[in-house]
Amino acid sequence: MGSYSRQDVTRILSITSRQLQGWERAGLIPQQQSYTFQDLGQLRTVRALREDAVPAASIRESIQAMKAVAGMANPLLEARVVRTGSRVAFRHRGATVDPISRQLLLDFEPGAVSEHPTAMRDTLPMRRASQQGLQERFNEAVHAEERGEKQKAIALYEEILVIDPKYAAACINLGTLCFHARKFSRAEEYYRRAAEADPGYVLAYFDLGNVLDEVGRLEESVVAYQRALALAPRYADAHYNMALAYERLDRPRSALRHWHAYAQIDKNGPWADHARKQMRIILSRETLTVAARAEHFVPRRKGKAALRLV
């Protein structure tokens, strides 16, 4: 297998040395002096994602999550990368997975198989070999939802949960169907089941926060969003909804932190504009003060005002 120098890489990929160094500092690729042909494929993927304005932090977190849940040494080489908004998903052996939320996404290319033969390990709940039939049923339920056949989808999800009560993705999707039907208590039940079945399932806590917010249990919704952000600190939607919840709780400074976090992650678009607008409103209303406790009363001197440290 051929070896390529850093100069070769920058020339072949039409990138600058500064770009290559930036990807290394961001943790997207390891720092090295020579590269293989496979490394070039990985670098091309990173270049395409960055050219498509996918944040470096989102790429890094998705890679790390995929390594953890699928047991892959190098997801950028072993699976096909799929952009989902400001996040990265991976398509492998006919399934598309968001590794941060551990959500199986709708596969728009049925029957297609990854050219990489490495199979996902059992640590990814939706890819257990013993549950292949359940996964096929889950895919069928998702497609039924897309066609508007909600009752059929509900029946399929319920069948899955009879066979495997801890099938977290089915709990999530059932919860969402209940949420849209305004059956909020049922939705909460399914989201909590998903979180119990898979404590690392970010989407379970996020969706739980949404339903708790909807019924006015704002303090509980904040706790749920905090759990989601503990697992995925750059989960933009969780920051956004948490900011809204804090505003409704009349805690503007707490809201400000999350508006700022959201604007740092999602820099463009109407939601980012709204976040920045809310930041300006809060800052215009809040008066920041520095208070110090003195041993005794210090009377104000006559004449010009002066700053005195006590």
Query: What type of residue is 6?
Result: R
Find the distance separating the first CA and the last CA of the chain, reported in whole Å: 70
Q: What are phi and psi of 80, to 5 degrees?
A: -90, 135
Q: Residue 13 falls within a domain, yes or no?
A: yes
Which range among 3-17, 61-75, 217-231 shows the weakest confidence by mean pLDDT? 61-75
Q: Which of 285, 286, 288, 264 is nearest to 276 (CA)?
A: 264
Would you say residue 57 has pLDDT above 60? yes
The model's confidence at residue 196, banded by pLDDT at 50, 70 and 90, is very high
Query: What type of residue is 290?
Result: V
Name residues whose C-beta falls within 8 Å of residue 165's C-beta, 6 or more positions apart in sequence: 193, 197
Place of tokens 């740092």: 264
Q: Residue 225 falls within a domain, yes or no?
A: no
Q: What are phi and psi of 98, to 5 degrees?
A: -90, 105
The model's confidence at residue 224, banded by pLDDT at 50, 70 and 90, is very high
Rounded-to-10 torsion of CA 251, 252, 255, 260: -160
DSSP symbol at 100: T
Please report, for the domain that includes residue 5, its CATH number.
1.10.1660.10
Place of tokens 């993705």: 169
What pLDDT, on a 0 to 100 scale, did the predictor assign at position 245? 94
Q: What is the mean pLDDT of residues 241-269?
A: 89
User: Which residues partner with 174 through β-bridges?
Assistant: none
Query: Total structural domains in the chain?
Result: 1
Q: Residue 9 falls within a domain, yes or no?
A: yes
- Cα(280)–Cα(130) distance, rounded to whole angstroms? 53
- Cα(310)–Cα(308) distance, rounded to whole angstroms? 6
The model's confidence at residue 107, banded by pLDDT at 50, 70 and 90, is very low
The answer to whether 197 touches 102, Cβ cutoff 8 Å, is: no
The answer to whether 100 touches 65, Cβ cutoff 8 Å, is: yes
Q: Residue 265 falls within a domain, yes or no?
A: no
In terms of residue numbers, what domain contains 17? 1-51
Three-state secondary-structure class, residue 194: helix
Query: Interhelix angle for 56-70 vs 37-51, to 10°?
Result: 130
Q: What is the mean pLDDT of residues 99-119?
A: 47
Q: Residue 45 falls within a domain, yes or no?
A: yes
What pLDDT, on a 0 to 100 scale, did the predictor assign at position 216? 93
What pLDDT, on a 0 to 100 scale, did the predictor assign at position 304? 47
Q: Residue 34 falls within a domain, yes or no?
A: yes
Q: Which of 236, 204, 208 is nearest to 222 (CA)?
A: 208
The answer to whether 282 touches 253, Cβ cutoff 8 Å, is: yes
What pLDDT, on a 0 to 100 scale, did the predictor assign at position 309? 38
Q: Residue 11 falls within a domain, yes or no?
A: yes
- Cα(59)–Cα(64) distance, rounded to whole angstroms? 9
The model's confidence at residue 2, banded by pLDDT at 50, 70 and 90, is low
Would you say residue 1 has pLDDT above 60? no
Q: What is the mean pLDDT of residues 171-198?
A: 91
Q: Across the chain, what does the average pLDDT equal?
A: 77
Q: Residue 217 falls within a domain, yes or no?
A: no
